[in-house]
Amino acid sequence: IQSHIDDAVEKGATVHCGGKHVDNGGTWYPATVVSGVNHTMRIMTDETFGPVLPVMPFDSIEEAVELANDSRYGLSANVFAGSEEEGVEVGRRLNGGVISVNEASLSGSVHEFEQEPFNLSGLGRSRMGPAGVERFYRHKLILSDSSPEARNIDAYAEPAT
């Protein structure tokens, strides 16, 4: 996290709160808001797994969607809009597996949905929902054709070992 913040600041971004690792006997990092960011900064091109909100200005919804989708990742996204309806409409246009509208990262509270991340994010449909359990199964198809009279097709799943 810190290297992403440092890179952004070196390239002209401003930290409004947080921005420094808290040495408190663990891996604590405070909520951080950074403005003046752009796509030359790692904070906008790499996944920052921490409580960091980079703020990038835009002139239109079309530009905002284009900037948001200009990423090799797509695990999730957050849309803050004037209304829920507007946020949902923008969310439909984003390349993300889970889109939170007017909230920060609701994706962790929805376990029954088979999330499918976009691009290079995540592990496919294996994080949540029934697919989260099914990833521990190894699917096998066994075909038997020992004679024209006796054709047996059996498919089953067994727990992975």
Both structure tokens of 117: 């991340």
Q: CA 84, 89, 92, 94 torsion: positive or negative?
A: negative
Both structure tokens of 72: 């090799």
The CATH number of the domain covering residues in 2-121: 3.40.309.10
Return all residues near 152 (Cβ < 8 A) that are at least 6 apart. 144, 146
Rounded CA-CA distance 155/143 in Å is 8
pLDDT at 78: 85
Rounded CA-CA distance 77/115 in Å is 12
pLDDT at 89: 92
- Residue spans of the domains in the chain: they are 2-121
Rounded CA-CA distance 80/64 in Å is 11
Can you name the residues that pair with 79 across neighbouring β-strands?
A: 101
Could you tell me the mean pLDDT of each successive run of 10 residues in the chain, 161 residues long? 97 97 87 96 91 94 95 82 91 85 69 54 55 62 47 49 52
